[in-house]
Structure formats: structure tokens, C-alpha cells
Amino acid sequence: MSLVTSEEQRAVCEAIAAWASAQGFADAARARLDKPGDESRDSWSVLFGQLAEFGVFGAAVADDQGGLGATFADAAAMIEQCGHDLVPGPIGATVATAIGLARSADPRAASLLESVLAGEVVAAVPASAYTGASVIDGGTVELGLVPGYVDGCVLTIPVAGADGALSWQALAPGSVAVTAATQSATDGATPVARVSIAGVDADDLLPLGGDAIVSGVLHAALAAYQSGVCRWALDTAVGYAKVRTQFGSAIGSFQAVKHLCADMLCRSEQVTSVAWDLARAVDDALAGGDDALAGGDDATSQLELSVLATDVIVAQSTPGVTKDCIQVLGGIGFTYEHPAHLYLRSALAAAVLLGHAHDQAVALAGAGLAGARRAFDVDLSAVENQRDKVRVDVAHLAEVSGDERRHRLADSGYLMPHWPQPYGLAASPALQLLIDTELDAAGVVRPDLVIAGWAIPTILQHGTDAQRERFVAPTLAGDIVWCQMFSEPEAGSDLASLRTKAVRVDGGWSLTGQKIWTSQAHNAQWAICLARTDFDVAKHKGITYFLVDMSSPGLDVRPLREATGHPKFNEVFLDGVFVPDDCVVGDIGGGWRLARTTLANERVAMGGSGLGKEMDALLRQIDGLGRDLTTGELQTFGRLFADAHVGRVLDARAVTAQLAGLDPGAVSSVRKLIGVQHRQSVPDFALELSGFNALAWPESTEQVIQNRCLSIAGGTTQILRTAAAERILGLPRG
């Protein structure tokens, strides 16, 4: 997914792409690398004048100030497209300066804003501006390296006051003496100069408005641009893998290449997701008016938190995507003429500008340990007129507890509101979220249906009226517990290879075989079971979906102990277990399709403010550690916090897409893959913090071992990578 969320954004981004394709930006970048020199102010003004016509610089500036009166999210979508097409120059710095000028109380700002919005004047910020501030007290001030500097540009500088507070100041062209020496640049898309200024006094500085917002926009623009860089790298690698042949096959059919591309997809989606979130945070802060400009309000603190997390993800993910692009391309990707190295250079430059996010990780850790969390809100205006009724219904549920509450939840449809009536409410995504909000506010926790959450939707969608009458209501009431008998000793990830056979007998079927890794089989009353009814057809055919009474003769449940020692799952032996015809779901031989489908109106949930049980356990451990974390430990925790943040952002993106009636696309697959890695990494760090205490089997040690199952259960990580590469990226099957 890209940052584009509307048809208007799509149209302008397509226009930018068409314009960029005619400009030869890759050739210009190579020429800039070959012969560094002073950039022509006129060439920048022509280029930025064209960008200004698209509205890149004025999207988030009010229309009565010469802007478009749109949102920063609109600007971010355009900046992302610029990154995809390697559009050169200090785009982010110019956008941030425009927004700061629009909010400045200084009377000089209006005329300078007009020039910036028109693209007549560009703005550049010192490289150090992303991680620090300059001290200006007269005399000569070394600004260091300034990406995108050209003679006659606005210098936008974060200035540290005597009290250490940061304020953004603009130096208009010609206001002070500037000395600049062009350097050989790492990033061919953006030249760099070493700049110093002399004779600066207070009257030369033009204060921008909204210091936190200017900083936020600068970082958000960098993230959006790098989201485009990642998207180009992913698209290029996948496109090449589909057509490049070796050993008689497209290289995209090789598992190693598929996994590289799947990993690129995950990292690219992470960068895009945090860029999306930061753009929203900027817009929330902009909407806060003067209060947000002063800092310290909730919108501003949310913006600052999003900046920290975004910096960490961009710095750690973007270089890897562009490096892997070259790996997939092979030798051709390592040539100077191929643009892949230009995108790698851009990614490396971004990581350098962010200081590789070491300081941001420490700051993010501090914020996380202090309880800071990103809040995600969605537009529920379409169902707001139902809130009063929902609140009354929820109050009725909150009056009771235990079994009585569960029965009321089931009878009212609030237990599974997305299920069709009469078992649910056939609730839209927006109504589901509204119900969740009111239940949370009232402290009403719905019981987890576990396997029934998969079994019953299949019965609702494909079962008979008699099956729905028999199983749905009792399951909701808690009278029936389900288990799933799919996996077998020789059919784990390759589920279609199952061998349990079902033979036609009088009145039904006789099932014989072995199932394994069956959680809750020792407690369940019923099971959903796949068995082969036809061995003479393709393996994905000939499989039928059965409902099995766990008290049936011939069924033997034997507990299996997990690596932790706990007997949480089982192996189940079926020896001539009779299943009547009325317990077959769907068509004979149609079980494979049923096993892979769920109700179209799937459960929608935003999730709360929690970071996951592993992070919660880690926070408890740190709280009881009895010492402060070292800088290295804080960096590690900050990066884990950023990863947890990304998971929540992916959830929010998926929900936002569903509310808009859009397909969330790759989000769910990416969420699974990165979530597993994160949930295994957190206990690993907790184990390190435990020191010698880890020898005495603390929670952290047990969690390290327990979470090894996460990359196996529900499809191994490697199989999921292959599936993502084939189904999402379209790489050929091997």
C-alpha cells in the first residue's frame, strides 16, 4: 500500500509520475555525482516551480494564504511519489518552511511564503537539524553540511535558546553573509554544501510558527519520500524477478528470491505505515490551532511520539529494502547505469540525517517507559447516531457478570456483532468499532471464542439451517467448546497432503487417521475436521469438512507436552469414528475451499493502547529491575517499542481502509510476519536483562521457549513468506 488514500491523491500522483518520467532525474543524479558543482538557482526554481504547480508545497497551507487548504496527508502522498521517481532537491525542507511561514506572526513572512509556495525560492535545513539545534550568538556560525543548498535559498535553522528551548528561524536570501562550498554528495538526488553564516543578529532571523509542527513536517516529509524509495525498490526487484530466468525458470520462482522479496515487502510496509501515521499526527497538530503551536498539548505530544517511532523505523528499514533490491537484481543492479544504487544512496543519506536513530531510540524508550502511547482515532460519524442506543445496551450488559453476562452478550448480538442476525448484528466496520469503544468504557470484556471464532463463521456461511440451529447459539452461550483437527504428522504447512480418510458408510462416514497439534482437544465437545473422501483426485480436491463429536467411540485424545513442559496441545487418533451425514459442512470434496474462507464481513478491531503481552511483561520486568537501563539497553527497548508501534499502526491502517470500503491489501500478511519476529525478539531482550536470574526459570526464560511456536503455528514463517511473495507480489510458483 502507498500513502495514496483518495482518487484526488491518485490523480495528482499519476500526474507527478508522468512529469517525472520525462525529466531524466536518474541521469541528472549520476551527472551530479560525476561532477559536483554549484547548483544553479535558476534550475532549482524551474524544477520547484513545476512541483509548486502540483501543490506539493502549498497543500497544507490555507487557501487564503496562497495554499490549497488541503491536508498534510495530501502533501505526503505527493512527496512519496517524488521519492518513487527520485525527484531531487530539498522538498521536505521547503514544505516544512512553507508551513512554518504560514503560521508565523512576523509580518515579513507573507512575502517570503508567496515566493516559497510558487517554487521561486527553495529552503534548505542543516543536516544537524534532524537531530539537534544550532547556537547563534553573532559572529560566524558553522551550519555544517546543508543538503540541497543553493545560492539564494532560504536557510531554515532550529536555534537553541539560552534556556535550551528550540525555535525554528528562517534566514531570507541576502539577509546575511553566507559562505558555501559544494561537496561530493552521497545522495545524487540532493547536492550538499558545507555552509557557514556570518554577522547574524536577532533582526535577521524570521521566526516560524509552530516549532513542534515544523519539526514534525520535516521528519514526516523525509519518511514519505523514503516510503516512495522503498516502493520503487520493491516494485523493481519484483518486476525483475518475474522476467529474469536462470536454470530455465524465472528467478522469482526460487524460494530464496521469494523470501528476499517478502522481507522487502514487510520493511517497505513498515516504512509506509509510520509515514502514514506521522502524516496523520501532523494533520492532528495542525488542526489544533494556536494551542498546538504552543506545544505541550496532546496533539503535539502525540506528534513528537510519532516522530521518534518513525525515525527509528525509517533509519533501520529503508537501507535494507534498497540493499535487497540490488541483491535481487544481481550484477545488473551493481552497475552505475542502473538506478538501483541511486535509491540506496538516498536511503543511506536518510539514515545518516537521522543519526541512524540512536538518540531517537533512547528518547522513545524514555517516553514508552513513562507510559506514552500513540492514540488512534477513526471517523465514526456514520454510526454516531446509534451511540446512545449502544450505550444503553452496554449498560444492561454491565449490570451482571459471569454466565449471565455471557448469555446477555450472546442474546443481544454484542458478543460477535459482525456475525449475521440473529446470532450477531451484521454490524458494519464502523458500528463494530463503536460497540468496542462503549464496551471498553464500561469495562465489559467479551469472552474469547478461540477456535469457535473460525468454526462458527464457516457453519454460518456454508452450513445447513439445522447445523446453524444446533451449533451457533450453544457455542455463543459457552455450552460448546471447539477444537480444530486439521494438521497431521505429514501435513502441517502442506495441509492439502492430509491422509485421514473418510469412507462412506450407512448414514454417514467412517473417519480413520491421526491429527496432531490439536489445542483444547482434551476440553472440547466438538471439532472441525478435514478428512479425505477421494484419493483419486488432485490433493486440494477430495477433502471434506466434517463436524466431529469428541465423545464419539473410536476417538482417542492423548496430551502432548510443549517445550515449556505444559500439556497445551494433543494428538488425536481416529479409528473408525462415525460422523453422520448431517455433520458434513458444504459439499463432499469441497472442504479445502471452506478451510480457507471466512465470512466476508470479518471482525474489525482497532485494538487498545496496549503493546502486547510480551511488551507488557517486559515493562513489568524493567519496573522491578532495581536499576536504570544502560544507554545500549534503552536503544534496544526503544527499537522494540517502535516495532510494537508499527504493529498498532498496521492495525489502524487496516481498520481505516475497511471503514472506507477498501481492501487492506498486504497489511494482514505483513502484520503476521513482523508480529512473530517482534514477539520473539522481546523475550530475547527480557532474557538478557534477567542476568543470572535467567538460570532459575523466570517468566522471561519460559517466554523465550514458548514463543518459538509462533513462527510455526498457523503456518511457518517461511511458508508465509512464500505465500506473501506469490499471492501479494505475484511471483511465480516454483
For residue 240, give the CATH number of its domain. 1.20.140.10
Which of 180, 209, 238 is a domain's end point?
A: 209
Domain identity same for 173 and 58: yes
Residue 87 lies in a domain: yes
447 preceded by a cis bond (ω within 30 of 0): no
In this structure, are 619 and 648 located in the same domain? yes
In-domain check, residue 605: no
Domain CATH number, residue 106 = 1.10.540.10
Percentage of the chain surpassing pLDDT 90?
82
Ramachandran category for residue 499: left, alpha or beta (phi over 0 → left; psi -120 to 50 → alpha)? alpha
Set of cell numbers at residue 556: 482417542
Radius of gyration for the chain, computed over Cα atoms and rounded to the nearest angstrom: 29
363 and 390 belong to one structural domain:
no
Q: Which of 209, 236, 263 is the last residue of a domain?
A: 209
Residue at 455 is within a domain: no
Collapse the DSSP code of 559 into the 3-class scheme (helix H, G, I; strand E, B; otherwise coil) and give the result.
Answer: strand
Model confidence over 502-529: pLDDT tens digits?
Answer: 999 999 999 999 999 999 999 999 999 9
Tell whether 456 is covered by a domain.
Answer: no
Give me the residues paired with residue 141 across strands.
Answer: 197
| Domain match, 41 and 144 both | yes
Helix axes 699-706, 667-690, angle to 10 degrees: 150
Q: Assess whether 498 and 415 both reside in one domain.
A: no
Average pLDDT estimate for 689-710: 93
Grid coordinates of 180: 558555501
| 283 and 346, same domain (yes or no) | yes
Q: How far is CA 487 from the centre of its chain?
A: 30
- Confirm whether 184 is domain-assigned: yes
Q: pLDDT digits over 16-28, tens only?
A: 999 999 999 999 9
Instruction: Give yes or no: residues 116 and 149 share one domain.
Output: yes
Do 583 and 724 belong to one domain? no
Beta bridge partners of 509: 504, 579
Chosen domain end from 369, 400, 422: 369
Do 81 and 202 belong to one domain? yes
Interval 603-661: pLDDT, tens: 666 666 678 999 999 999 999 999 999 999 999 999 999 999 999 999 999 888 888 87
**In this structure, are 216 and 205 located in the same domain?**
no
395 is in which domain, residue-wise?
381-447
Number of separate domains in the chain: 5
- The reported pLDDT for the residue numbered 483 is 95
Q: Cell triple for residue 387?
A: 451511540
Judgement on whether residues 389 and 324 belong to the same structural domain of the protein? no
Q: What is the pLDDT of residues 541-550, one digit of tens each?
A: 899 999 999 9
Any domain includes 457:
no
Q: Look at residue 459 and tell me if it is in a domain.
A: no
Look at residue 41 and tell me whether its pLDDT is greater than 70.
no
Q: What is the CATH number of the domain that holds 587?
A: 2.40.110.10
- 601 inside domain: no
Q: What one-character DSSP code corresponds to residue 725?
A: I
Residues 421, 537 share a domain: no
d(CA 412, CA 394): 10
